[in-house]
Amino acid sequence: MVAKGDVVTVDLQVKDVKTGKPFDSTFDQGQVRFVVGAGGFLPAIHKAVEKMQVGEAKELQLSGDDAYGDADEALIATLPLDQAPPNLQRGQVLRLWTGQKARVTDVTADAFTLDMNRLNAGAVLSVALRVLDAAPPSTLETADFAAGCFWGLELAFQRAPGVVSTKVGYTQGAKKDPTYTEVCAGTTGHAEAVRVLFDPAQTTFDALLDVFWGRHDPTQLNGQGNDLGTQYRGGVYYHSEAQKAAIEESRAREQAKHDKPIVTEVLPAATFWDAEDYHQQYLEKGGQIAKKAASETIRCYG
């Protein structure tokens, strides 16, 4: 029987009930692997898999809070076309002055319609799943990384082949169970970080280090881009002596690419405090693609 925390392999197929066509989700379909209860897929899918037997199949219909939430008619507006930017097209995503994003759902000769609901709001999904395999999490290894805002870093690792689970949180600080507000105040000593569970039979720690170095400027101290503060510092935190050696070797290779010294910290892994649920898989929930090997640009703020 599948239990929370198990690593499962599932055949997963999702359709849009309204159209009968395959649903183009932000997550992978087909044969997928994930840690039950650890995110990356709709929570209702995790809940459905728990307590199933290997070989068992199940079909679900998900809507509302079990899917992507209900659509709010108050967030759909039709406006005169003369208020639109030039060359407006159906399907285009606009960023409003409030910072909110809206999709153009219709354009006529004299008007256009904006939908400000979250992506896929109101979708009704038909989910067919079959559990192909289940194993304890001892088959996986753990790695911890910090590289500025944890939203974009997590999505980069979600896309990495061999990564089975990711979560964002706070590490290397003094306060127990800190909140996001406390960490952002810069008083707890924590860094925003991502904990990665990966299958060493499918990827290597060196491959994850390549993702890490590619996601931040290792010469910037206590910040990344416009995100400034000790909570945004770069760091990689080893769980074994083998990881430490791999980090030191990759850091030396990375230093050869830079004129300035690398300031990314290398320390033993410390207590990892999970961030609030709101932050987990934040960019995927917002509609960015988390599928393996996806190459779309990762946008942290819009």
Whether 129 contacts 10, CB under 8 Å: yes
**What 8-state DSSP symbol labels residue 79?**
E
Of 170, 134, 149, give the one whose Cα is nearest residue 272.
170
Dihedral sign for Cα 265, 225, 166, 10, please: negative
Of 172, 165, 151, give the one whose Cα is nearest residue 199.
165
- ∠ CA 168-173-174 to the nearest 5 degrees? 135
d(CA 223, CA 227): 5
- Token readout for 17 is 């009930």
d(CA 90, CA 86): 13
Of 302, 6, 5, 300, give the one whose Cα is nearest residue 155.
300
Dihedral sign for Cα 179, 184, 188, 189, please: positive
Strands annotated E in 43-100: 57-62, 76-80, 93-95
Which of 35, 131, 143, 149 does the annotation list as catalytic? 149
Q: Is 149 a catalytic residue?
A: yes
d(CA 219, CA 52): 48
Residues identified as active-site: 149
